[in-house]
A and B are shown apart, each in its own frame.
Chain A
C-alpha cells in the first residue's frame, strides 16, 4: 500500500510569513494527525481528525495555526504568521480506525525553517 504522502519536504520562510503543508493519508484511513517535532524531542500532537471532523485540537496554537481536512481525505496545515519557534518538522500520520490498537503510519515530514 502507498504510504502517507507529505509535501513539501523542506520549506524556508522568514518570520511573519505564511506557509502551508499538505498531507495525503493512506487510502481508507479514517484518522489523520498532525504532529510538530522539534529537534531532539518526540512528536507533539497538534490536531487529530476523525474523517472530516476535529477530535482533538487542544494543543494547536489557534491564533496562528489552522488545519482542515475537507472531504475526509487529504489535509492542509497552515501557519500564519510564522514565528522563529515554529521551526520544526511537521509530521502527518494516519491510522485505520482511530482505535487505541490501530498503529500510526507516519509520512516523512516537512522540515520548516523560520529565519
Chain B
C-alpha cells in the first residue's frame, strides 16, 4: 500500500535555531516528492520538488534531501523565523498520472 509517514508529529523550537523534518514513503514506482508549507487557515503551498535523480535542493532557508534507495526525504530549515510556524506536508507522486499520496504533516512552532 502506498503510504507516506512523517516525523516528528509536532516540533517546537526557538527562533534562530535549525530543525529537520523527516518523510518516509513506500510509494512505488516513484515520480517525485514535494514539500508543502501550510500556514494556519490557508491552503498548502509548494516549497520544493525532488525527482528521482536529485539528492539535494535548496529554496532560501529550506533545504530538501532525497534518498531514493531508502525512500526517505528530509526538510532542513536554517535560522528559523516566527513565520516558519506552520504545518509541513510531504507529498509523493507515483508514475501513474495524478497519484498524490499525502503525509499527515509535521506541525512546527517557532517561539521568540
Contact = CB atoms under 8 A, between A and B. Distances in A.
Contact of A104 (B41, B99, B100, B105): B100
Interface in A64-111: 91, 93, 95, 98-101, 103-104, 106-109, 111
Looking at B93, B94, B97, B98, the one whose CB has the most chain A CB atoms below 10 A away is: B98
Nearest to B94: A100
B81 interface: no
Interface string B28-63: 000110100000011111100100000000000000
A46 to B, nearest CB: 13
B46 to A, nearest CB: 5
B95 interface: yes
Given A42-B89, A43-B102, A108-B43, 9 more contacts: A4-B43, A33-B98, A40-B104, A95-B98, A98-B98, A99-B98, A100-B31, A104-B100, A111-B41
Contacts of A12: none
B24 to A, nearest CB: 14
Given A43-B102, A99-B97, A104 B46 contact: yes
Contacts of A33: 98
Interface residues of B, number: 26
Interface residues of A, number: 26
A16 interface: no
A44 B4 CA distance: 13
15 contacts: A31-B98, A33-B98, A40-B104, A40-B105, A41-B105, A42-B91, A42-B102, A43-B44, A98-B97, A100-B32, A100-B94, A100-B97, A103-B49, A104-B46, A108-B43
Interface of A: 4, 31, 33, 40-45, 48, 55-56, 91, 93, 95, 98-101, 103-104, 106-109, 111
A108 B41 contact: yes
A109 B38 CA distance: 11
Interface string B54-74: 000000000000000000000
Contacts of A107: 43
